[in-house]
Structure 1
Amino acid sequence: MTTNHTTTPAPFLPIPAPAARIGTTAGATLALIGTFLAWTWTDQFPGDLTVTGYPGGLQVLTLISAALTLLLTLSGYGIPGLRWLTPGGTNSPVRLLALGTLGTTGYTIGAIAYDLGGVVNLEPGAWVSGIGALIATITALGLPGDQPHTDPRTTAWQRFRNSLAAPQAPRPKALPSWAEILIIVAAFGIGLYVFAYGIDTDYTELFIGFLITTGFAFTALHRAGLVSRLTALTTKHRNITLAAALVAAVCFPFTQQKEEYALIGANILIFGTVALGLNVVVGLAGLLDLGYVAFLGVGAYAAALVSGSTMSAIGVEFPFWAAVLTGAGASLVFGVLIGAPTLRLRGDYLAIVTLGFGEIFRLTVNNLNGNSGPDLTNGSQGIPSIPDLNFFGFDFGLKHNILGFDLGRSANYYLLMLVFTAVVVLVFRRSGESRIGRAWVAIREDETAATAMGINAFRLKLLAFALGATLAGLAGTVQAHVNYTVTPEQYQFAGSVPPNSAFLLAAVILGGMGTLSGPLVGAALLYLIPAKLQFMQDYQLFLFGIALILLMRVRPEGLVADRRKQLEFHENDQPDVPEPRHPEETGAGITKAGA
């Protein structure tokens, strides 16, 4: 017997389902129409919201959110073709999108009133969209639930959590392979556009509105089951997916007109690659490393010493490939030297030892200044004046015209770092799917049981430690050239400026431990948000803590979770078994009767 989602009682407001759906449609339409009207009379508010008939700035975000709300609401009417977008149900996603429309519109109205000095500066378009978003939200709360809520003890918070949890999407109708590939390509194209739009935001108000819109939209699409359906397609066509992701990443610098935005992309790749290396240690092998940023520093310092810097104590200039091998090799050696005596420890003891190694590295390079120790790293001044790379006549410090697009220094290093990221992704994927990767997972789950099954736990943990250190060293060689300099303050356990060990560990946990794309997503979010919202940098650690608390409460497996983590963290989310009416129906009752 199947559950009819459309007849489930409304979990929030007692509004008849037809009236709720009509009201949501009307409210979303009204909010959409309001974006084509002026929202304020002066262009002093960023984005120029004074133009009628041409949405701009935050109006575009309200337009997109209202259009998605209307689209998913129409899918609830059974319109052919639209049901493919909502295999997990339409009503809960509509509620989330309506809330997102109200949040974006309400934030814009509040920002206009705050910046310009009162609500008198609002034009009719803002009121039309605001009232429409409010109507859509109120009526959407009366839509039937996609999941039955028969337990009267269910709280409002539990019902809200149910609206965030993605249901098991039904098996879709089989599509031709070419259609599935086109869907994958379109998905990555949309992802590239959204990411580029977020980086291109020129002012704080627009970026905050972007976060509100994308947060609610992604959660709604996840709740609708569309993300699960796309995940199934990408799993089926894995090689096509990797190729599409690589092409989308290559296209990113061609979408940027400002050097600073391309630099953000390059740094995201650097920190995402380092986080992926940490994911080998933490996510696959289960080793809590709190000093991992030191391996990034070892690679960066080694490359800086041999890259021809005028402040280098060695005074040599290796070619680029040799500098890369030097940085990766130095990190590998340090990984083995530190891992060999410490990896016999477990849990908190290992975490404390690795934290100490990270601090020892920072203090050591700070003291190698010719006074407290040998003159090698120039102490707190670091190694500045690292020259730009010149690879087979291609100077990374100069602007180049490629296919009619001018790519500056940051874009050049972005493309170089993309090659390193592709190598790290290939290494992570191959190692995770190999016999060694399965052994790492066994050690992570239960090291005692894995040892009893014949796995050499120490050797494999040392291998994971050395591999993670090597991957961090590769990224460190590029980071040294991107930043022109390396200093001890860049490699702390925690600080307001990434990278640091806390930042990298938070990226792995936030994105999803043990997954391929999770650390990349986590690093992108944790770097992009403080980079665009400068006023948040002083509160970065506090906001990290808040984000992790909310994540553990709502989605403990991370934003991108593997199947094992989903089953582990949501094993108690199954419906309760009804209590039997008579003692004889239980084993205890039968035992008592037999006695």
Structure 2
Amino acid sequence: MGLDTLTPSSLADARTAVRTAVVRRVRVPLPTRVARAATLVGGLALAGSTFLAWTWTPAFPGDLTVTGYPGGLQVLTLILGAAVAVFALASYGVRGLGWLVPAGATAALRRLALGGFAVTWFTVIAIAVELDGLANLEPGGVVAAVAAAVPLVGAWALPDDTREPGPARELPDAVEILVIAAVLALGLLVFTYGIGTSYGQLFGGFLIAVGFGCAALARAGLARRLTALTARHRSVTTAAAFLAAAAFPFTQSDDRYATVAANILVFATVALGLNVVVGLAGLLDLGYVAFLGVGAYTAALVSGSPASSIHGFQLPFWAAALAGAAAAMLFGVIIGAPTLRLHGDYLAIVTLGFGEIFRITVNNLDGVSGPDVTGGPNGIPNIPDLDILGFDFGAEHVVFGVTLGRFANYYLLLLVVTAIVVLVFRRVGDSRIGRGWVAIREDETAARAMGINTFKLKLMAFALGAALAGLAGTVQAHITYTVVPEQYLFAGPVPPNSAFLLAAVVLGGMGSITGPLLGAALLYLIPAKLEFLQEGQLLAFGVALILLMRFRPEGLVRDRGHEAEFHTEPNVDAKAGV
């Protein structure tokens, strides 16, 4: 309609239509208004309750007896309560908060409210168990327990407003890179807080809070937008992620948590190598930890240990690393060549047997039951620290005014190894060989019918995965000072072992890069942090596995191929908000 066609009657009709639309927008049904108010007020009340004392005695870890200063688990409740209030304001349509909920606010509010309720009641129950009874709660704890239920009820009473998020507004490249850097800095802060939790109850609450927080961000549609942002700046994101990880030792005052971080990186790097075999090629390998052992024993033999059977022989680290990777690759070819014609459970049984054969063999090469090569049950001790270009990894060094201890040094070295593994995984996964592996994983018969040499590609996957594990093993040998057969079990109380490695790949997300890294970090930290559960650790771990497989069968980080495999209904992403 042009300006010359406007008449007084048409203008009046337009004003009436606008007025009607505004009235309809303002006239929200009463139950919805009550639910929104309950969610907002409940979130504020929950956050406010953390400034009250929850118990009368400091015997409970974190000292929740201080009024006016949240501590311990109260901090997590405060964060979740404040997040509920902010997202409730976003559901009201407050100007400036719409970017928080591009896919709708209700689903995100429900997850945040449920997280606040879970953390609060987890704390209340922990107080009752630790101090022998609910009588140890102060009025502030009772207020928090009641306040936690208010936003939960309000959020579930809200109507579902899930929608397909529209395209995000284009921002200058510099601004988008700053957003990515801010997100990675936040991730470093969260990781540092989690790894630095000083008692099991706080780590348990941390897991609950992070789990529900990430679910809320996904339901709000922010995860999808962040994924699109990082996809546009893939190289920058990868480099920034490693820079953020490299900054971790500089946030620590001692080597205590650098030790944990270094062990996590060993576990994560090996899990990423296993992801080549399981995630890309679809080969179930239950003896993968043996390749880690091959690399570790090779490095121990050629690194100048006094207990090494190769006396007076020491290679520089780069040569020892290549020797460990090559030896593991050779073993991968030797084991894979006669066994990779098997499929499914039969292949899994054979690889499980290989893992046990490796452990028994190195246990018997002690000079009594067999040749003196590996030292038998005593292993190869006294492996010297690395010295690369004059940099002694066993000594403390001051860098940028921060003292880096032994484990911080090895953590940074492992970060370089992890970067190499990630680079190899990404380049191979995007190559013709990687696409052939995915085709074999999806349907080997169809891949063979299309002319793919499935045996050759499976053998390449087996060899490459073994080489990556061997590379990580060369660093592990120097970190632990010694290698013994008991480190390379199929299943054991301490990772890495084959069962935990496979669990890290499956839970993290097969076929993805960040999935196994995240899965390995969680599976290493959970047994170490939840010692207060004692015999209940395995029970809690089993329940977590069941829930994750039920609600997130494709893993924590989704791979597109597995997502299509596990979800067959249309528009599942729109429903999930990710």
Q: Same fold (TM over 0.5)?
A: yes
Instruction: After superposition, give the CA deviation of every residue in 1:542-593 in whole Å (9 maximum; x if it has no partner).
Output: 5554433322211111111122222221113669xxxxxxxxxxxxxxxxxx
- Which has the larger displacement, 210-219 or 46-55? 46-55
1:275 Cα offset (Å)? 0.6
Between the aligned partners of 2:48 and 2:171, the Cα distance in structure 1 is 35
Report the 3-state secondary structure (helix = DSSP H, G, I; strand = E; otherwise coil) of the residue aligned with 1:401: strand
Between the aligned partners of 1:345 and 1:539, the Cα distance in structure 2 is 38
Amino acid at match of 2:227: T
Give the conservation status (yes or no) of the 8 Å contact 1:530–1:537: no
Q: Does 1:428 align with 2:425?
A: yes
CA change 1:15–1:265 in 2 (3 A) is farther
Q: Does 1:388 align with 2:385?
A: yes
Between the aligned partners of 1:260 and 1:47, the Cα distance in structure 2 is 20
Give the conservation status (yes or no) of the 8 Å contact 1:263–1:411: yes
Q: Does 1:27 align with 2:42?
A: yes
Between the aligned partners of 1:178 and 1:537, the Cα distance in structure 2 is 49
1:56 is matched with: 71
Between the aligned partners of 1:546 and 1:44, the Cα distance in structure 2 is 29
Between the aligned partners of 1:563 and 1:454, the Cα distance in structure 2 is 24
Amino acid at match of 2:387: N
1:152 is matched with: none
Give the conservation status (yes or no) of the 8 Å contact 1:496–1:540: no
Report the 3-state secondary structure (helix = DSSP H, G, I; strand = E; otherwise coil) of the residue aligned with 2:403: strand
Give the conservation status (yes or no) of the 8 Å contact 1:496–1:538: no
1:510 is matched with: 507
1:126 is matched with: 141
Q: Does 1:378 align with 2:375?
A: yes
Report the 3-state secondary structure (helix = DSSP H, G, I; strand = E; otherwise coil) of the residue aligned with 1:338: helix
1:87 is matched with: 102
Instruction: After superposition, give the CA deviation of every residue in 1:129-174 in whole Å (9 maximum; x if it has no partner).
Output: 2222121112222111235xxxxxxxxxxxxxxxxxxx75432222
2:170 is matched with: 174
1:139 is matched with: 154
Q: Does 1:469 align with 2:441?
A: no
Gaps of 5+ in 2: 1-23, 573-578
- Which has the larger displacement, 415-424 or 262-271? 262-271
Give the conservation status (yes or no) of the 8 Å contact 2:201–2:530: no
Between the aligned partners of 1:256 and 1:451, the Cα distance in structure 2 is 52
Report the 3-state secondary structure (helix = DSSP H, G, I; strand = E; otherwise coil) of the residue aligned with 2:408: helix
CA change 1:482–1:539 in 2 (3 A) is farther
- How do 1:122-521 residues align onto structure 2 when only pairs under 5 Å count? 122-147=137-162, 169-315=165-311, 316-521=313-518
1:593 is matched with: none
CA change 1:259–1:168 in 2 (3 A) is farther
Report the identity percentage.
Answer: 65
Amino acid at match of 1:469: A
Between the aligned partners of 1:192 and 1:89, the Cα distance in structure 2 is 28
CA change 1:291–1:220 in 2 (3 A) is same
Between the aligned partners of 1:304 and 1:16, the Cα distance in structure 2 is 70
Between the aligned partners of 2:264 and 2:414, the Cα distance in structure 1 is 10
Between the aligned partners of 1:117 and 1:342, the Cα distance in structure 2 is 56
1:31 Cα offset (Å)? 1.1
Give the conservation status (yes or no) of the 8 Å contact 1:298–1:473: yes
Gaps of 5+ in 1: 1-5, 8-13, 148-166, 576-595
Give the conservation status (yes or no) of the 8 Å contact 1:98–1:133: yes
Give the count of matched residue pairs: 546
Q: Does 1:67 align with 2:82?
A: yes
Report the 3-state secondary structure (helix = DSSP H, G, I; strand = E; otherwise coil) of the residue aligned with 1:333: helix
- Which has the larger displacement, 401-410 or 542-551? 542-551
1:155 is matched with: none
Instruction: After superposition, give the CA deviation of every residue in 1:4-31 in whole Å (9 maximum; x if it has no partner).
Output: xx99xxxxxx981110000111111111
Show structure 1 runs of 4+ deviating over 6 A.
Answer: none
CA change 1:398–1:412 in 2 (3 A) is same
Aligned match of 1:564 in 555, 558, 561?
Answer: 561
Report the 3-state secondary structure (helix = DSSP H, G, I; strand = E; otherwise coil) of the residue aligned with 2:157: coil
Give the conservation status (yes or no) of the 8 Å contact 2:281–2:438: yes
1:590 is matched with: none
Between the aligned partners of 1:532 and 1:53, the Cα distance in structure 2 is 28
1:306 Cα offset (Å)? 1.2
Amino acid at match of 1:509: V
Instruction: After superposition, give the CA deviation of every residue in 1:338-381 in whole Å (9 maximum; x if it has no partner).
Output: 11111122222211111111111011001111111111111111
CA change 1:456–1:117 in 2 (3 A) is closer
Amino acid at match of 2:76: L
CA change 1:306–1:422 in 2 (3 A) is same
- Which has the larger displacement, 365-374 or 249-258? 249-258
Report the 3-state secondary structure (helix = DSSP H, G, I; strand = E; otherwise coil) of the residue aligned with 1:145: coil
- Which has the larger displacement, 341-350 or 374-383? 341-350
Between the aligned partners of 2:342 and 2:133, the Cα distance in structure 1 is 61
- How do 1:523-562 residues align onto structure 2 when only pairs under 5 Å count? 523-535=520-532, 544-562=541-559
Amino acid at match of 2:258: A
1:254 Cα offset (Å)? 1.3
Amino acid at match of 1:405: V
CA change 1:58–1:547 in 2 (3 A) is closer
1:35 Cα offset (Å)? 1.4
Between the aligned partners of 2:414 and 2:250, the Cα distance in structure 1 is 15
Give the conservation status (yes or no) of the 8 Å contact 1:196–1:252: yes
Report the 3-state secondary structure (helix = DSSP H, G, I; strand = E; otherwise coil) of the residue aligned with 1:141: helix
Instruction: After superposition, give the CA deviation of every residue in 1:486-539 in whole Å (9 maximum; x if it has no partner).
Output: 111111111111111111111110011111111101101111111112255766
Report the 3-state secondary structure (helix = DSSP H, G, I; strand = E; otherwise coil) of the residue aligned with 1:40: coil
Give the TM-score normalised by structure 1. 0.88
CA change 1:345–1:117 in 2 (3 A) is closer
1:40 is matched with: 55
Between the aligned partners of 1:209 and 1:83, the Cα distance in structure 2 is 29
Between the aligned partners of 1:462 and 1:230, the Cα distance in structure 2 is 37
Give the conservation status (yes or no) of the 8 Å contact 1:45–1:116: yes
Give the conservation status (yes or no) of the 8 Å contact 2:530–2:537: no
- Which has the larger displacement, 359-368 or 93-102? 93-102
Between the aligned partners of 1:574 and 1:50, the Cα distance in structure 2 is 49
Give the conservation status (yes or no) of the 8 Å contact 1:15–1:139: no
Between the aligned partners of 2:243 and 2:55, the Cα distance in structure 1 is 40
- Which has the larger displacement, 201-210 or 127-136? 127-136
Between the aligned partners of 2:446 and 2:232, the Cα distance in structure 1 is 33
Give the TM-score normalised by structure 2. 0.91
CA change 1:403–1:377 in 2 (3 A) is same
Instruction: After superposition, give the CA deviation of every residue in 1:220-241 in whole Å (9 maximum; x if it has no partner).
Output: 1111111111111111110111
- Which has the larger displacement, 36-45 or 286-295? 36-45
Amino acid at match of 2:79: I
1:585 is matched with: none
